[in-house]
Amino acid sequence: MKVTIVSSFPMDGKATSNRVKVFAEQLLIENLANSVTIVCPSSDNHNFLTQDNNLKLVDINLNEINKKNYFIRAYHELSHAFKLFNNAKKNNPDVLLVTVPSVLLLIPILFSKKSYFIALDIRDIVWNYFSGNIFNVFINKILSVIFKYAIKKSNIISVTNNMEKKQVLELSGIEPIIAANGISSQTFDSLSKIKLKEQTKKVNLTYIGNVGIAQELECLIQLANDYSHNMEVTIIGDGSRQSYLKKLARKTNLKNINFVGKISPFFLSEHIEKSDILFAQIGINFSSAVPTKIFEYFASSRKVLLGLPDGQAKEIFKDFSGVKIFPVGKYNELKESFEIIRNLTFVPEMAEKNKNILKHKFIRENNAKFYLNTLKDSFKQHF
């Protein structure tokens, strides 16, 4: 059986590509596919893929998308979606697994003559991220309609958590299965080797991940300014807000903030080893999102400071130890939470508890196996 996976995100070691990687590898390991082809935008970092002759990567050169203008962004995302989809069809797959956050990747499905099994994997309920003004509500409605019709052409649908499951069920009337996100066994093993660190007098607080709108990282500029003499802030990653944050730091004349930029996953450990506290945050409009980087934080034997809205991420991460969660957008509560977590003594028992939770609930390969067993049953009914 030939399986083709289509993703609007490159295989670059970030959250979406890690999910795709595990799906692809487990399809081959579980003998559900003779060959797997991943079709995605090009990237300069594909060397983390398993070297398997039956796993093929087709990366398409696509122009960078201007994310500041909705209409230009929608046009280019739609153009990219058809290019990716047309390349995927050239493989003559038996199974087409389409994984999104980009809902526009679903539009080609609407125009497709269904001659193959379609598995739809929803990693983010992105249409709910548009709320507030009339224009955003209009976009929400359009994206919701696209999804409702695309799901009718799909044989099986998966999501990453219970909140997404509820929202998809309410929208479409179809109950998806949960293929939970988490941390790969390889990454878990690597980060688990990081030893506890005695906190330095000058606290090193590190953010790792996408530097975009959803993360609202302006608060770190303010925090670095307020603790200019006893804190070092490190921001690792890139994204649409990086240039703005750098300008803000220069304007404030900060000397204690360092923008590292994008790094290879292979160098992640050495940055975490230097850190006392790991930081993450998602905005109030992203309540169904669960940032996968936080799972890596908890594998690393470090204290964690999280800015989260009420939602799925807060429900998951409150069970871990050595973490302080504050309501996103509340700067005074961020400062209070920082003081609490800074003065907390992180002991080996806390680190072990976190690793045990990860091992039992959030190893990607284990969760992928459950998903693939359900997929196998659907194959039997279809083929």
- pLDDT 10s digits, 331-369: 999 999 999 999 999 999 999 999 999 999 999 999 988
pLDDT of residue 275: 96
Query: In this predicted structure, what is the pLDDT of residue 168?
Result: 86
Q: What is the dihedral of CA 176, 179, 180, 185, to 10 degrees?
A: 180
Q: How far apart are CA 271 and CA 309, in angstroms?
A: 27
Beta-bridge mates of residue 326: 307
Evaluate whether 326 touches 336 at the Cβ level (below 8 Å).
Answer: yes
The predicted pLDDT at position 49 comes to 59
pLDDT at residue 103, rounded to an integer: 76
Asked if 23 and 5 count as a contact pair (C-beta separation under 8 A), the reply is: yes
- Work out whether the CA dihedral 150, 159, 379, 102 comes out positive or negative: positive
Mean pLDDT in order along the chain per 10 residues (383 residues)? 91 82 90 92 64 84 71 82 91 91 82 84 70 68 81 89 88 88 92 91 94 93 95 94 94 94 85 96 87 95 96 94 96 97 96 97 91 86 77
Name the residue among 94, 12, 99, 24 with its Cα closest to residue 54.
Answer: 24
pLDDT score for 67:
64
pLDDT at residue 362, rounded to an integer: 95
Reference 38, options 15, 7, 16; nearest CA is 7
DSSP letters, 288-306, are T---THHHHHHHTT-EEEE
Cβ pair 92, 65 in contact under 8 A: no
Q: How far apart are CA 18 and CA 323, in angstroms?
A: 24
User: Residue 93's Cα: distance from chain center in Å?
Assistant: 26
CA distances from 15 to 25, 100, 163, 197, 220 (A): 16, 12, 19, 27, 22
Cα torsion at 119, 123, 127, 132 (round to 10°)? 170
